[in-house]
Amino acid sequence: MSAAEGPLVVGVDTSTQSTKALVVDAATGQVVASGQAPHTVSSGAGRESDPRQWWDALCQALRQCGDAAHEAAAVSIGGQQHGLVTLDERGEPVRPALLWNDVRSAPQARRLIEELGGPKAWAERTGSVPGPSFTVTKWAWLAENEPEAVRATRAVRLPHDYLTERLTGQGSTDRGDASGTGWWASGTEAYDEETLAHVGLDPAMLPRVVRPGEVAGTVRDSHDLPFSKGTLVAPGTGDNAAAALGLGLRPGAPVLSLGTSGTVYAVSRRRPADPTGTVAGFADAHGDWLPLACTLNCTLAVDRVAALLGLDREAVEPTGVTLLPYLDGERTPNLPGASGLLHGLRHDTTAGQLLQAAYDGAVHSLLGALDLVLDADADRSVPLLLIGGGARGRAWQETVRRLSGRAVQVPEARELVALGAAAQAAGLLTGEDPAAVARRWNTAAGPVLDAVERDDETLERIAGVLSDAAPLLERSTENR
C-alpha cells in the first residue's frame, strides 16, 4: 500500500449481486485497497436475498482490503434501494429480504395509490407515486401473503440500514434512502403517519433518519470486522444517491446509469412531485433532491438476449427490428407484469440485428424519461454522464449517443457508489459537503464522445410499437 496523504476512509457498495469495499485516501481520493464478494438472488416469481449474506460479503470484502481497512477513521455504506428487511426481537432476519426488482407487490401498489388519494396526492405527499419497487408496497404484500412474518417483525430496515446497524448497534437511515420507501414524506422530511397507519406499520419499528453530515454512530466492538472500535460511521444512503455524491454532481448535470437496472437522474434544488409516476422524487444525500426515473431491464436483459443468441454483447448490427426487453416486467413504462416483445422479424433478420434492437429498446426507455427528470432550465447541451457496468461497453455508448443526439462523457473512476460512500465518510472528518469532496477528487473526469445526429426514425418506430402493443402489455400486467 502506498503512503496516504490524509486519513483513510472506507466506502461500501452493497448492490444486488455483490458487496464492494474501497479504502480511500480522504486527502487525494486515491483507492489504496479494495475487496469484493458475491451474494445470491432467488429466481422465479420473486427476487429475494438473505441479508446475512450481505454481512458475510462485507466481512470478506474488508478482509481482502487488509490492514488498510483497520486504519480507516470513518466508514459509510451505500446500498441497493427499496429492499424490505424484516428483523425479529434479536435483530435476526425474519425471512429473506424482498429486493427492489421483486414486482409481486404490483397489485398492492395499485390499491395503495387508490386508497390514499390517488397519484397526485401521493406525489405531493411523498414526492413519488409508488410502484412495486417501493418498500411500502412490499410491506403490504407481506402483510397480505405472510401475516406470520409481519407478526414476528420487530424492526423494518432497508439494505444499507441493515449493515449500518450491524456496525453501530443502532437503527438509522438517511433521507436519500428513506425517500424511496413510500412512507417518508418529502414535504415534511419525516415519516408519514397516515401511510404507516394505513399499512399497519408501527413507526417505532423504523430507524432514525440521520441528517446529512451527522454521525450515525461508531463501530462497536462486538463483531469481527477489521475496524477499530469507535471508528465513525456516516449515515450511508441508497445506491443512486451515493453515485451522485461519487460524481460530485452539480444541479442539472444528467446521469444515465447502466446497471442491472437503468436509471436517469440529476440533482435539483426543487422538490419533485410527478403525478404520472414516471419520475421518482427522491431526496439526495446532502440536502437537495434527486429526481430519478428507473427501468428494471438494462444490462442484465441485454446480456440475456446476447446469451440466447450465442453472441458477444458487442456483436451488434444496424437494425430495423424492435425489441422491448421487458424480461422482468418494467417500471418505466409502468408495466410490472409485461414480458419481452419482438416486432419486425424477417427471414433475413440477423442475430446481431436482434441484439442491437435489445440495446435500442433499453435505451429508449431511459431517454424517454430524461426531459421529465431535468428541470426546465437545465442546460441540454452538457454531456450525459454515462456510468454503471455498461458504461464502458462500445455498443452501449454508441446506442446512447445515437438515440440521444448528445455528447456522452464516461468517467474513468469506477465503483462510483462506493466512492460516493467514501466521500460521505470523508466529509465527516473534514466537515465538507461530500459532493465537494468528490469534485476535489476529480471523480467525474473521463473522455467525452462527441454528439451525433439523433436517430429519430428508430425512436419513432419504438414509440409506435410500444403504443400499438399497449393493450397486450397492459393485459399481461393485469393477469400477473
Q: Is 174 designated active site?
A: no
Judge residue 304's burial from the number of C-beta atoms within 10 Å of its C-beta, 0-12 exposed, 13-18 middle, 19 or more buried.
middle
pLDDT in tens, 89-113: 999 999 999 999 898 999 999 999 9
Per-residue DSSP letters for 299-341?
A: HHHHHHHHHHHT--TT-------EEE--BTBBTTTTBTT---E
Place of cell 420487530: 154
Cis ω for the linkage preceding 212 (within 30 of 0): no
The CA–CA distances, whole Å, from 49 to 14, 16, 46, 81, 393 equal 12, 9, 10, 13, 28
**In this prediction, what percent of the chain has a pLDDT beyond 90?**
83
Q: Is the dihedral of CA 438, 258, 86, 477 positive or negative?
A: positive
| 8 Å CB contact between 405 and 452 | yes
Q: Is the per-residue pLDDT at 290 higher than 90?
A: yes
Q: Could you tell me which of 69, 13, 7, 428 has the C-alpha nearest to residue 215? A: 428
Residue 263, number of CB atoms within 10 A of its CB? 26
Judge residue 306's burial from the number of C-beta atoms within 10 Å of its C-beta, 0-12 exposed, 13-18 middle, 19 or more buried.
buried
pTM of the model: 0.87
- 385 backbone φψ class: left, alpha, beta (φ>0; ψ -120 to 50): beta
Residue ranges in 331-444 assigned as alpha helix (H): 351-368, 370-373, 394-404, 416-430, 434-441
In the structure, what pLDDT confidence band is assigned to residue 368 with cuts at 50, 70 and 90? confident
Determine which one of 102, 239, 274, 284 is catalytic: 239
Residue 347, number of CB atoms within 10 A of its CB? 4
| Least confident stretch, 56-70, 300-314, 368-382 | 368-382
Helix (H, G, I), strand (E, B) or coil at 478: helix
Give residue 474's pLDDT: 83
| 8 Å CB contact between 84 and 435 | no
Give residue 1's pLDDT: 44
